[in-house]
Amino acid sequence: MKKAAGSPEPEPVVGISRVASAGLSCPAPAGEVDRVLLGHGSGGKLSAALLRERFLPHFRNDVLAELGDAAVVRVPGDEIAVSTDSFVVSPLEFPGGNIGHLAVHGTVNDLAMMGAEPLYLSAGFILEEGLAFDVLDRVLEAMSAAAQEAGVIVVTGDTKVVERGKADGMFINTTGIGRLYSGFRPGPARARDGDVVIVSGPIGQHGVAIMAAREDLRFEVEVRSDTACLAPLVRSLHTACGSAVHSLRDPTRGGVASALNEIAASSSVGIRLEEGDLPLPGPVSAACEMLGLDPLYVANEGVLVAIVAPDKADSALEALRSHPTGQSAVRIGTVTDNRPGLVLLRTGLGASRVVDMLPGDQLPRIC
């Protein structure tokens, strides 16, 4: 991590009584340290120890090991995809994952949706004074595992510590670099009349898991976040369908409804969904009923929406279903040249309704 560059060999964190007695203003502790202190952001010995003992072991690779002011990486081709995202989820840990999984999956998935193979990540951490090290360790472990699974390495990073109350435990920013597949450039403006709309798995799980954790709601069947790396699914789609994949989105905030509205608007097409075809797990649907939410607007972190030419729709489904993350991929609708810009849903009763963008956050209803 670049903050550590040029640091002298640091002192051990535990039992640094010499440092503590060196000056009254020094925030370094005398005893066992089990949480983040303001001193960990000082750029001094505590910072160096934090990096060496907590961060570096999780992200070991040759580029990072240089610890220079910037990472030097090799990228094939003339064009690369770059994407950045910040993660501020509360609570930090939830059924199915933690902020570390999201920080890797979020950025890696954004690269994948552009038709890119993710290669490198940067990671910036804003830590709140008092954050327990065991939470931090679990988050870093999750990031490390998620990065490994996604085939990316963390090549540069940064940590800052802010006073208690100024961050919700921790915030993470990651930026990713990816290599573009040749002849494969899905985009929101490329949907065409007749295309098939596919989702790669059950919808609504992440948002409901977070909401349940936040409100301390318990359901008979626990809803777990679906957070997952979508890069392998895109790799298979590229191989199986190539340029017949017209648009790809990962419907995170705003859910499937917002992702499809963006595509409908950018491509000037209509999109027609069948309510009965939406893969809606029972517990998600029950929780949404109770909370007064519409699952079409609930966030996902391990689902992609693909708009595919009709003759390749079956190949796309087969490619997605070859992965555990995509095994319940289904078609949920079609693209039409009717009513451009509008997403319509045919209800179970056979009537139609508009599925619009939300004006803001979904707000729970009174009764």
Partner 1 sequence: MKYLSEYRDPVLARSLVERILAAATRPRVLMEVCGGQTHTIVRQGLQEFLKGAVDMIHGPGCPVCVTPLEQIDRALHLASLPEVIFTSFGDMLRVPGSDSDLLQIRARGGEVRVVYSPLDALEIARTHPDREVVFFAVGFETTAPANAMAVWQARELGISNFSVLVSHVTVPPAIRAILDAPDNRVEAFLAAGHVCTVMGWKEYEPLAAEYGVPIVVTGFEPVDILEGIYMAVRQLEEGRAEVENQYARSVRRSGNEPAQELVGKVFELVDRAWRGIGEIPASGLGLRDEFAAFDAERRFDLGSIRTSEPEECMAGDVLRGKIKPFECPAFGAGCTPERPLGAPMVSSEGACAAYYNYARFQAEPAGEPA
Positions in the binding site for partner 1 (CB under 8 A):
215, 282, 285-286, 289, 291-292, 339, 342, 344, 347-354, 356, 359-360, 363-367
> In 3-state terms, the chain is what percent helix, strand and coil (to 5)?
35, 20, 40
Instruction: Rank residues 84 and 352 by Cβ distance to partner 1 and give the closer one.
Output: 352
Angle formed at CA 46 by CA 45 and CA 50, multiple of 5 degrees: 120
Residue 186 vs 333, nearer CB to partner 1: 333
Supply the minimum distance, in Å, between the C-beta of residue 195 and partner 1.
20
**Non-local CB neighbours of 231 within 8 Å, separated by 6+ positions:** 108, 109, 111, 112, 117, 118, 150, 151
Which residue, chain included where needed, has tokens 């390749």?
312
Structure tokens at 193: 């009349």
- Nearest approach in angstroms of CB 279 to partner 1 is 15
Tell me the torsion sign for CA atoms 19, 20, 24, 26: positive
> What token pair was written down for 265?
């608007």
For partner 1, the closer of residues 24 and 367 by Cβ is: 367
Burial class (CB in 10 A: 0-12, 13-18, 19+), 289: exposed
Q: Are 270 and 343 in contact (CB under 8 A)?
A: yes
77/165 with CB nearer partner 1 = 165
Tokens 């994952």 belong to residue:
97
For 323, half-sphere exposure in the C-beta direction (CA atoms, 13 angstrom radius) is 22
Q: Which is nearer to partner 1, 6 or 341 (CB)?
A: 341
> Could you tell me the smallest distance in angstroms from the CB atom of residue 222 to partner 1?
17
**CA neighbor of 249 nearest in space, from 200, 194, 184, 183:** 200
CB of 260 to partner 1, least distance (A): 15
324 vs 364, which CB is nearer to partner 1? 364
Rounded to the nearest whole angstrom, what is the least distance from the CB of residue 295 to partner 1 in the complex? 12
Instruction: For partner 1, give the closer residue by CB, 175 or 285.
Output: 285
Q: Of the two residues 72 and 367, which places its CB atom closer to partner 1 in the complex?
A: 367
Q: How far is the CB of 281 from partner 1 (least distance, A)?
A: 11
Q: How far is the CB of 278 from partner 1 (least distance, A)?
A: 14
By CB atoms closer than 10 A (0-12, 13-18, 19+), residue 171 is: buried
Size of the chain, expressed as the number of residues it contains: 367
Strand order in the sheet with 330-336: 245-249, 305-308, 196-199, 330-336, 270-274, 343-346, 352-354
| Rounded least distance, CB 161 to partner 1, Å | 25
